[in-house]
Amino acid sequence: MKKSIYVLALITILFSACKNDKKQAESNSMQSSEMNMKEADGHDHDDHDHDATMGENSSKEERNIDATTQKNSATSAIIDSYLQIKNALVEDSKEGAAKGGAMMLTAFTDFDMSQLNDSQHKEYMEILEDAKEQAEHIVKSPIDHQREHFENLSIDVNDLIALLGTDKTLYQSKCPMAGEGKGAIWLSEYKEIKNPFFGSKMISCGSVQKQIN
């Protein structure tokens, strides 16, 4: 008799656990369809963004000049968390980078979006979506994966600064060997080259491309 009560209890628990799961799945899919709508809305913008990030230099250059005239402290927490990840990777510290990833997720959550205008909002949402994904992976991945995601994250943070500005002085450097030989950029708070993509293996690979502020 006692046993059958246990069995019943177990089955009930399993059933209810399953229900919760379903609900969650539903709300997830709702969220993602919302996202898709947003993305569809921002289509024109998409292309613009694409030009700006991919067009090797000209359009990118322009955006960064914008950033130098825009002193904005709202992006500071996000940039600080980025620099924490960067410095941890320079020191080959997986744990430090994971901590920075968590800091970044918090920084994005705390970011006040109400100050963005309409056109900024669309691109911000795209950067946010991507950067959050990179940060989540940095939290849970081994260091070589962290570094791959850091490459993408560097572009996101660079574009964020181009979009919204910063009051920090930063240096954009490029390592020609990173990104599977295609080269990759990173941002640093100091001029000296300390490479986050290879760490101690190739600490001085790269050169400063430009100064922001």
Residues lying near other proteins in the complex (CB under 8 A) = 3, 6-7, 10-11, 14-15, 18, 22, 25, 28, 32, 36, 39-40, 42, 46-47, 49-50, 53-54, 126-127, 129-130, 133-134, 148, 152, 155-156, 180
Contact 148, 186 (CB under 8 A): no
- Extract the tokens encoding 66: 């914008």
Q: Which long-range contacts (CB under 8 A, 24 or more apart) does 174-180 make?
A: 174/206, 174/207, 174/209, 175/205, 175/206, 176/205, 176/206, 177/202, 177/205, 178/151, 179/151
- Compute how many other C-beta atoms are within 10 angstroms of the C-beta atom of residue 212: 18
Q: How far apart, in whole angstroms, are the C-alpha atoms of residue 57 and residue 39?
A: 26
- Extract the tokens encoding 135: 């940060």
Q: How far is the CB of 137 from other proteins (least distance, A)?
A: 9
Q: How far is the CB of 18 from other proteins (least distance, A)?
A: 5
Q: Specify the residue, 53 or 213, whose C-beta has the smaller distance to other proteins.
A: 53
Q: Specify the residue, 133 or 189, whose C-beta has the smaller distance to other proteins.
A: 133
Q: How far apart, in whole angstroms, are the C-alpha atoms of residue 62 and residue 89?
A: 29
Q: Specify the residue, 86 or 149, whose C-beta has the smaller distance to other proteins.
A: 149
Q: How far is the CB of 114 from other proteins (least distance, A)?
A: 22
Q: How far is the CB of 46 from other proteins (least distance, A)?
A: 5
- The identity of residue 47, as a single letter, is D
Q: How far is the CB of 10 from other proteins (least distance, A)?
A: 6
Q: Specify the residue, 17 or 191, whose C-beta has the smaller distance to other proteins.
A: 17
- The identity of residue 21, as a single letter, is D
Q: Specify the residue, 44 or 167, whose C-beta has the smaller distance to other proteins.
A: 44
